[in-house]
Structure 1
Amino acid sequence: SVSPLAVDDDALAADQLRRLADLAQDFGVRVAYEALAWGRHVSTYDHAWNIVEAADHPALGTCLDSFHILARGGDPKGIEDIPGEKIFFLQLADAPLMAMDVLQWSRHYRCFPGQGGFDIAGFLGHVLRAGYRGPLSLEVFNDVFRQAEAGPTAVDARRSLLVLQEATGLAAPPAPVVPTGVAFAELVTPDVEPVTALLGALGFTRRARHRSKPVDLWQQGEA
């Protein structure tokens, strides 16, 4: 909570989250607890995880947001200590490195992965090594995106995900193409006569000429 009335009591927070998870479970819903970078008492992912772990409820997990973690200069390596199945949701956002109020920074200057100064690929690597295999959300608050058309922004977002996919090794490179035969070989030479003489000596015969380009077709059997 960011309320000035919030109580600094981890045991109370764990108890309340456990009861909330009980209610959610009755409706087939799960609760993901997230630490905001400007939280009143809980502002780091490891603190939030300690509370979730203390609550010990199957319908309660944590939500990780790259901005909230990296904007505070936190070390994301500790994410690997969280069981992957207890990470219920993942939110990604990059941002330019700026010395300003973190709340305003978050609400107005987030951008897509790879467009800012955070190591989003490294962050995602820690999450994946923790065993997380769930959905990935781009949570980007940005004044420019709010005013822009949705189409180009969506294309920009997809491009950033493709780059991130490649950077983290999530996408295997395509298998090399194995040639199964040769359709033709094209020769380009400034002096045609020696080449045509050589082809003739090798048993090739000129079969056709391109209708609009100075290109001849020479064949010998299936070659």
Structure 2
Amino acid sequence: MLKFTQIHKTYNDNGQPHTALQEVSAEINAGESVALCGPSGSGKSTLLNICGLLDSDYQGELSLDGQIVPKCADSLTQIRRAHIGFIFQRYNLVPVMTVLENIELPLMMLNMPSAQRLELAAKMAVQVGLKDHINKRPDQLSGGQQQRVAIARALVKRPKLVIADEPTANLDTTTANLVMDMMAALGQQYGTTFLMATHDDRMLHRFARRFNLQDGELQQVTTTNSFWRAG
């Protein structure tokens, strides 16, 4: 479903070239969960940005659902809005919006009619256990509840791919496992592929595969034949 081939990325660092990714190649199947690991500066964020279509300044080829991704800014925006969801470590919820409005936001960006997007957002709120909190703002929720909103927002448009950056880092173990269970269940329901950067050793056993980045080079570690593992 997601394939990147010979991805090479170089930054200009105070006039000096710095290689962030060195000819990185991998293929991820539809519905699969992959952990992206490595120390700070290893290239994780760079690879996430490229796979999330936030960065087109690279060499190599990226394919999504069998189609080569163009590097035209307008095309990238359209594909990203329609097919990619994002989950962030610090949730990145809009503070002045309610739970329901935050979940609804990606559908608004797709110009979906109001009645349809409200229905989908409300159903997703129920699926992530926030039925009784839809009118609250983010500052009225716990960290785990805010991450549930972020998951619902990422999945409400039924994306092909979800990019997650340290989604369990700020959560206690019990809540982190609940969040992972939720992502696994919803991902299996919708056939969504997950690519997650993580330092969270507690959760690594939950992934189908693990990619290790070191100095911009990629190593693959197979952990299980299942696309997700139970907690």
Whether TM exceeds 0.5 here: the answer is no
Q: Which has the higher contact order (CA 8 A, sep 6+)?
A: 2
- Higher strand fraction: Structure 1 or Structure 2? 2
Max radius of gyration: which structure?
1
- Higher helix fraction: Structure 1 or Structure 2? 1
User: What's the TM-score, normalizing by structure 2?
Assistant: 0.31
